[in-house]
Amino acid sequence: MGEMAAKEWENTKNIRLNAALDEWVVMPNYIHGIIVIKNLPVETHCNASLRGNVQQSQTNRFGPQCHNLASVIRGFKGATAKNIHIAGFAKFAWQPGFYDRIIRNEQELTRIREYIVNNPMRWDSDRNNPENLYM
């Protein structure tokens, strides 16, 4: 399942030309990754850009949801889950949401890259490691 997730993550840059991948790692039960959204205003799933003047009609205030971070993650999760189910792991499911963060400067980018690279070495003490739940 991890190999399928890694393959689909790599495929993101081929499917979505507005998304570039930076540092990433697939862990046993989650994935950490930096995605660069190119040529668009920065958005997160909690803060989508508004289309036009906010005082306009209150129906459907949000712009197209096909080039933002949420659409990238939705496509990744959907394609990965489909492939994993086809491979015989019918009970596989992603958690419903995802955690996002806008990286605002080079110092923060460097710190997050280091965290991602070093994450596998910390797995034995990770609170998400099922072996550590009852310690």
pLDDT on residue 51: 43
pLDDT on residue 60: 46
Helix 69-86 / helix 2-15 crossing angle, nearest 10 deg: 140
pTM beyond 0.95: the answer is no
* Average pLDDT for the chain: 80
* Mean pLDDT, rounded, for 24-48: 76
Q: For 97-125, what is each residue's pLDDT tens digit?
A: 898 988 999 999 999 999 999 988 887 77
* Strand runs labelled E in the chain: 19-26, 31-37
